[in-house]
């Protein structure tokens, strides 16, 4: 069974705050406004990708220069979402590295 992507309608907070640790970008988006504009069924990751298109690092990602754009709230809200897998993997990597 394919994983269902989380949509804007499922976002539980009134505002979605996206930030990029790499470029220092930060944006705050009114979720009700986003739903009006893009529809409730738009996957959250599609929206993040749309915002990311304005970031040169996102568009042209290399191993050394990756864009860290994301929404911290998603990590807590959707622990099993596919988007958080990458985050969890990174945490594991850091853990492994700390162990030596
Ligand atoms: Zn970025």
CA dist 23 and 65 (Å) reads 10
Q: Phi, psi (5° rounding) for residue 10?
A: -90, -5
Displacement of CA 83 from its chain's centroid (Å): 7
Q: What share of the chain is helix, strand, coil (3-state, %, to 5)?
A: 50, 15, 35
Above 90 in pLDDT, residue 34? Answer: yes
pTM of the model: 0.68
Answer yes or no: is 35 within a domain.
Answer: yes
Answer yes or no: is 1 within a domain.
Answer: no
Answer yes or no: is 2 within a domain.
Answer: no
> How many whole angstroms from 16 Cα to the centroid of ligand 1?
16
Which H helix or E strand runs over 96? helix 82-99
Lowest mean pLDDT among 4-13, 17-26, 33-42, 86-95: 86-95
Domain that holds residue 73: 8-99
Count of the separate structural domains present in the chain: 1
Answer yes or no: is 81 within a domain.
Answer: yes
> How many whole angstroms from 57 Cα to the centroid of ligand 1?
5
> How many whole angstroms from 71 Cα to the centroid of ligand 1?
12
- Name the pLDDT band for 36 (thresholds 50, 70, 90): very high
């Amino acid at each position: 069974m394919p994983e269902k992507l989380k949509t804007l309608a499922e976002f539980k907070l009134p505002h979605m705050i996206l930030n990029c640790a790499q470029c220092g970008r930060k944006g705050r988006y009114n979720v009700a406004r986003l739903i009006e504009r893009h529809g409730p069924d738009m996957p959250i990751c599609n929206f993040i990708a749309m915002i990311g298109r304005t970031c040169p690092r996102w568009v042209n990602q290399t191993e050394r220069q990756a864009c860290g754009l994301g929404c911290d709230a998603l990590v807590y809200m959707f622990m099993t979402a596919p988007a958080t897998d990458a985050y969890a993997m990174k945490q594991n990597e850091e853990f492994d590295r700390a162990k030596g």
